[in-house]
């Protein structure tokens, strides 16, 4: 009887150890996924367009810097929070010619630098 009980206890302890390994792997996967998602903590996300920010530009630099607003508008990266019907949404202030057509082209190097500097379109 004792031998059966001992065999049963050792079997149960192996199962617990195996379950712990599974739990350890799940936790490891979750930690790695969180690390990948938090890779770029400096990236600023575009805020939701709602009533408190109605009329403001995105990127934020355009609200205080006229030069930034002009450069971003030339590149087609400037957006404004506008009231559209029953809701608010981000709308482009201007469109660059390169964005038109069936196959939009990549922005020029100058526009890419401006968008990088001021945090333009987050695509």
Residues 8 and 34 in one domain: yes
The count of domains in the chain is: 2
Half-sphere exposure of 80 (CA within 13 A, CB side): 10
Q: What is the value of pTM for the model shown?
A: 0.58
Q: What is the mean pLDDT of residues 6-13?
A: 54
Q: Is the peptide bond before 59 cis (omega within 30 degrees of 0)?
A: yes
Residues 61 and 6 in one domain: no
pLDDT of residue 79: 93
pLDDT of residue 105: 81
Q: Which of 6-10, 29-33, 41-45, 112-116 has the lowest mean pLDDT?
A: 6-10
Length of the chain, in residues: 123
Residues 17 and 61 in one domain: no
User: Quick one: which of 70, 76, 54, 88 has its CA closest to 120?
Assistant: 76
Average pLDDT, the chain: 77
**Residue 76: count of CB within 10 angstroms of its CB:** 22
């Amino acid at each position: 009887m004792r031998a059966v009980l001992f065999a049963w206890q050792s079997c149960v302890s192996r199962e617990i150890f195996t379950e712990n390994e599974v739990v350890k792997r799940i936790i490891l996967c979750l930690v790695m996924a969180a690390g990948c998602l938090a890779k770029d903590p400096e990236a600023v996300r575009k805020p939701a367009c709602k009533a408190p920010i109605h009329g403001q530009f995105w990127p934020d630099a355009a609200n205080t810097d006229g030069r930034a607003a002009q450069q971003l508008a030339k590149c087609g990266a400037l957006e404004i929070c506008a009231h559209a019907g029953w809701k608010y949404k981000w709308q482009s202030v201007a469109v660059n010619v390169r964005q038109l057509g069936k196959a939009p082209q990549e922005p020029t190097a100058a526009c890419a630098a401006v968008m990088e500097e001021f945090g333009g379109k987050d695509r």
